[in-house]
A and B are shown apart, each in its own frame.
Chain A
Amino acid sequence: MPQDKETVERLSDLISSFMCHASGHLPDDVTKRLNEMREVETEGFARQIYDVMDENMKLADSLKRPSCQDTGLPQFFARVGAGFPYQNDLEASLVEAVKKATVRAPLRHNAVEVFDEYNTGNNIGHHIPWIDWELVPDSDELELYFYMAGGGCSLPGMAKVLMPLEGYDGIAKAVFDQMTSYGVNACPPCLVGIGIAGSAEVAAKLSKKALLRPVGSHNENPKAAQMETLIEEGLNSIGLGPGGLGGKLSCMGVNIEQASRHPATLAMGLSTACWAHRRAGIRIKPDFSYDFFTHKGASL
């Protein structure tokens, strides 16, 4: 089935505008949490750094620029309604949207081909943009998340398979170790995403999906929600502060996502989002009307 050029043009225009906006504006939940944290951090460099962060977001908005020079590797998480009429044009539209946003925003060139070791110069590469597909029954919409995976905030990422007797304590320990070492360079306060599953790749993927959940939301399982709170409180007691320079708090929150595990394995994955957590979500209807639900009131 050939692609419909007009649809690709229309969809990619809309999605690239959405990406450009995301490069210079944080989602509403992140802005709210950062403002709350800024109120708590009244001492030392912490306050000064929060003030510069705030000034930076205001300047990014007024000058229409990406708020951080590291605009990341482009990643999409697409939940496609089984009845969404443009399935055949969607992948091409996402690739085209990245090309357009790279020039328009402009985004930094971040796709480096592995083995051949060169920068492709347009953020398109082997499996990049990274696209995660989910099919949603009984829907004719597209729910699309865009995430800018920066270098510093991707560095604490890890996955490993624990033995069940290492227990949930073992997961917590790995998270704490990683946050006090690599986490300091990941432009804290971070949002911490944890995946728990039966194998490493599932846990890793869930840990990234956990970052797509709003800051302050909780896992539906009460024990998982409790673990989120306990790890968040524990991390905050360390007081990494903004930029890892010390403060009263460490992180914006902890989100956990899980899949059933194997009786003999307890796999965990960790992904972190820096304070500049550029995640954006949009719902697009068959008539191209949209709801930019992570950034209310934004006009594209």
Chain B
Amino acid sequence: MSTFHFTLPVTDEDIKKVHIGDVIYLTGDVTTGRDDVHHRVVVSGKESPVDLKGKAIFHAGPIMKKISSEGEEDKYKIISVGPTTSMRMEKAEAEFLAITGAKVIIGKGGMGPKTTQGCIDNTAIHTIFPGGCAVVAAEQCEDVEGVEWLDLGMPEAMWKLKVKEFGPLIVSIDSYGGNLIEDNKIRFNERKEKALAGLKGKLDYMS
């Protein structure tokens, strides 16, 4: 297990250094995007209003607070931002990577075989930020640079964040086809069968 500190945009060489189980910290541009953003880019074919080449896409729906007054240019402060379940984006993520050139996915939980293949094809990785730790994440964001597609609502819009030493991000899919969570699931399922076998006869309350 190694630890890396990268500045965005990252290069293919950076991504190739990383393997599942490593921990990375990111500095630079991170943009949020979840269900609706993936739908717009992949299914509706709209161009992403944010240049994501070499950058990070963060599966997250933040709480933002508008701090600009009436008549001023819109300015927001980040209150809370944390990862949402990445698996919801499984259907669209591989194509999203191919279309936008994003290199780092940040979310929680694992992703499936389509995304794993997408990470191989596009030299990209999926990483996990500890779930529910939204104030820690918000405090690692130095600035909210703007927002696109706000018509999708606060959680679904693309928020452009400037982050510093953002992490820990645990690498769950690498660019070599490794998938930490799928590996874990195999182990969990083996232990599950054992645990259920151990319960046999102990819950026989039917008389």
Contact = CB atoms under 8 A, between A and B. Distances in A.
Interface of A: 45, 48-49, 52-53, 55-56, 59-60, 63, 65-71, 106-110, 119, 121, 151-152, 155, 164-165, 167-169, 171-173, 176-177, 180, 184-185, 187, 223, 227, 230-231, 234-235, 237-240, 242-246, 274-276
Contacts of B155: 108-110, 119
A234 B84 contact: no
A165 B204 CA distance: 10
B40 interface: no
Given A176-B196, A180-B188, A243-B128, A69 B136 contact: no
A106 B109 contact: no
B85 A151 contact: yes
A234 B198 contact: yes
Nearest to A245: B170
Nearest to A66: B80
A68 B192 contact: no
Given A234-B198, A234-B199, A244-B181, A275 B170 contact: no
Indicate the size class of the contact surface on chain B: 35 or more
B21 to A, nearest CB: 8
A67 B134 contact: yes
Given A168-B205, A185-B108, A109 B154 contact: yes
A121 B135 CA distance: 22
Interface of B: 23, 60-63, 65, 79-82, 84-85, 87, 108-110, 128, 130-136, 138-139, 153-155, 168, 170, 180-181, 184-185, 187-189, 191-192, 194-196, 198-200, 202-206
B170 to A, nearest CB: 6
A245 B128 contact: yes
Contacts of B205: 167-168, 223, 227
A65 B135 contact: yes
20 contacts: A53-B133, A56-B134, A59-B139, A66-B63, A66-B80, A69-B60, A69-B134, A70-B84, A106-B65, A119-B154, A151-B84, A152-B85, A152-B109, A167-B206, A169-B199, A169-B203, A171-B203, A238-B195, A244-B184, A246-B184
Contact of A106 (B63, B168, B180, B187): B63
Contacts of B130: 49, 52-53, 56, 242-243
B203 A243 contact: no
A23 B189 CA distance: 34
B133 A169 contact: no
Nearest to B62: A69
A276 B65 CA distance: 22
Given A56-B132, A70-B61, A185 B87 contact: yes
Contacts of A187: 108, 131-132
A245 B196 CA distance: 21
A222 to B, nearest CB: 11
Contact of A172 (B82, B185, B196): B196
